[in-house]
């Protein structure tokens, strides 16, 4: 249930309207393409487009009113408009008001990798206990977080807010807006090193999540991570009195005992706050099962029914592009197992994906495990070495063939033994043609690379035969 009465919107945003109406909005949108009947549309000015140009489209799609800075083009003068000085500030004000009126227990999730998957696990698990709302997709930045808070239903028992950042100083203001009761940091890894001097500096930036918490807040930290002590110290500096940890370390409050693979997926043995727990997850990478450990500890910190949450976790599937596994029939005949990791790439996530590939069963002894990798971006001067370092994991995982694209991936190609070099191409489009002509029945193929490489082109080539068709012509 989400109700934004006209007077509440005016009060929250310090706006005014020329034509007062006693209306109620049941949703909030900043994208005219996704507006639903009864939404309040906020005309945000972005780097490439201005929401004011889409107010008319939003209203034709069912928006009940619009927040604007000026009269939008082709919109009647008597339209239900709320005028504010700055629509971005108005969005933040509305998010703040949404947070103020909420009685939900709020969890903030951040980390170098695994934020979205952990957020989705928490949405599923806490949803088995009570009404739960979380960010849609990856709406985790300076406009996505206030938008999520503005959409937070009044009857929600739990709210799960993913918060991301690329630079120091970005996460603190968002945390102060969310004011979370529990903060979960999945890990600290070599991501966005282009903007930071070290992973220790990344840890300091992630620790800004504690800035919006009071002393009753709870920090959930990865004890296996090398920056655990640093993060725990930052939590204490913020006066948090309760710090819980998860990992394989025996001192962890949520301890991973074992992950077993069988025909039905993963069977995980753990100890959560001193109580043994066995739960099952679908076929996916062990790193996602590890993320679930932190999510389960978060549920315990919220005093939710942990066994019920673990049971709900059985239905979890990774979001598209984050480790989904599917059988794909090749246009030329035969079937391959395709692991979709195309959403994005960082060193730690790529190492994890390669490890998962190495543990994925092959259909026969003749079948191969094939890694298709695109550049990992935003790594600064460490980029070449971090790409070459992937070779060790590839060898340990007994991967049979590696195809690469992008300038940085040349470093990996050169580091691999010649027998493992499937080929290198400058971009995903030309690599797609090579891959599609090389895969065989029974192969297991994992595709991963930074979003800007458009690695989904390769998935399409394998699925619909477009690359084979181009090659044949």
Token pair of 232, please?
Answer: 């725990």
Instruction: Inform me whether the pLDDT recorded for 448 exceeds 60.
Output: yes
**Domain span holding position 47:** 4-93
Is residue 460 within 8 A of residue 428, CB to CB? The reply is no
Q: What are phi and psi of 28, to 5 degrees?
A: -130, 135
In a domain, 318, yes or no: no
Question: Could you tell me if 235 and 196 lie in one domain?
Answer: yes
Q: Are strands 335-341 and 324-329 parallel, antiparallel or unpaired?
A: antiparallel
Quick one: CA torsion of 141, 147, 150, 155, rounded to 10 degrees? Answer: -80
Encode pLDDT of 167-206 as tens digits.
999 999 999 999 999 999 999 988 777 788 899 999 999 9
Cβ neighbour number for residue 460 with a 10 Å cutoff: 14
The CATH number of whichever domain residue 411 belongs to comes to 3.90.190.20
At 262, is the pLDDT very low, low, confident or very high (cuts 50, 70, 90)? confident
What's the mean pLDDT in 334-340?
90
Residues 198 and 302 in one domain: yes
Q: Are 302 and 315 in contact (CB under 8 A)?
A: no
Residue (of 200, 106, 196, 199) closest to 156 by Cα position: 106
- Rounded Cα–Cα distance for residues 235 and 212 (Å): 11
Same domain, 277 and 302: yes
Q: Write the pLDDT tens digit of every residue in 300-332.
A: 999 999 999 999 999 998 777 778 888 888 877
Against a cut of 0.95, is the pTM above it? no
Most confidently modeled of 74-78, 226-230, 289-293, 376-380? 226-230
For the domain that residue 251 is a member of, what is the CATH number?
A: 3.40.1190.10
Of 93, 114, 146, which closes a domain? 93
Tens digit of each residue's pLDDT (9 = 90 or more) over 31-49 = 999 999 999 999 999 888 9
Is residue 319 one of the residues assigned to a domain?
no
pLDDT of res. 469: 33
Task: Supply the CATH number for residue 20's domain.
Answer: 3.40.1390.10
The strand pairing partners of 374, in sequence order, are 405
């Amino acid at each position: 249930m989400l109700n934004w009465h006209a007077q509440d919107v005016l009060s929250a945003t310090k706006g005014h309207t020329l034509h007062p109406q006693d209306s109620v909005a049941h949703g909030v949108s900043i994208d005219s393409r996704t507006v639903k009947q009864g939404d309040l549309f906020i005309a945000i000015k972005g780097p490439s487009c201005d929401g004011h140009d889409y107010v008319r489209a939003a209203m034709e799609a069912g928006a009940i009113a619009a927040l604007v800075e000026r009269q939008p083009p082709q919109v009647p003068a008597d339209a239900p408009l709320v005028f504010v000085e700055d629509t971005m500030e108005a969005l933040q004000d509305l998010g703040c008001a949404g947070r103020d009126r909420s009685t939900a227990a709020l969890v903030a999730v951040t980390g170098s990798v695994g934020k979205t998957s952990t957020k989705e696990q928490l949405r599923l698990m806490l949803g088995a206990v009570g009404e739960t709302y979380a960010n849609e997709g990856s709406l985790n930045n300076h406009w996505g977080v206030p938008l999520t808070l503005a959409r937070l239903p009044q009857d929600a028992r739990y709210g799960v807010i993913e918060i991301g950042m690329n630079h120091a100083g970005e996460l603190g203001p968002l945390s102060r807006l969310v004011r979370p009761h529990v903060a979960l940091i999945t890990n600290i890894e070599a991501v966005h090193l282009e903007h930071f001097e070290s992973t220790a500096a990344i840890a300091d930036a992630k620790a800004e999540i504690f800035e919006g918490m009071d002393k009753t807040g709870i920090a959930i930290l990865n004890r296996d991570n090398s920056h655990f002590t640093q993060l725990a110290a930052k939590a204490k500096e913020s006066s948090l009195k309760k710090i819980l940890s998860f990992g394989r370390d025996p001192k962890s409050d949520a301890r991973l005992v074992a992950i077993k693979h069988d025909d039905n997926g993963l069977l995980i043995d753990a100890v959560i706050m001193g109580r043994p727990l066995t739960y099952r997850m679908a076929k996916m990478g062990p790193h996602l099962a590890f993320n679930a450990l932190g999510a389960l500890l978060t549920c315990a910190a919220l005093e939710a029914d942990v066994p019920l949450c673990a049971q709900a976790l059985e239905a979890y599937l990774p979001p598209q592009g984050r480790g989904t596994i599917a059988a794909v029939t090749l246009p030329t005949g035969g079937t391959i197992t395709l692991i979709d990791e195309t959403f994005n790439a960082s060193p730690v996530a790529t190492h994890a994906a390669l490890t998962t590939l190495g543990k994925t069963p092959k259909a026969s002894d003749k079948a191969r495990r094939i890694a298709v990798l695109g550049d990992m971006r935003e790594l600064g001067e460490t980029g070449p070495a971090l790409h070459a370092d992937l070779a060790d994991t590839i060898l340990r995982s007994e991967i049979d063939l590696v195809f690469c694209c992008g300038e940085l991936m040349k470093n990996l190609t050169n580091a691999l033994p010649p027998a493992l070099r499937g080929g290198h191409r400058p971009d995903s489009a030309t690599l797609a043609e090579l891959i599609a002509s090389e895969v065989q029945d029974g192969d297991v193929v994992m595709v991963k690379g930074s979003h800007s490489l458009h690695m989904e082109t390769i998935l399409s080539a394998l699925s619909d035969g477009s690359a084979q068709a181009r090659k044949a012509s």
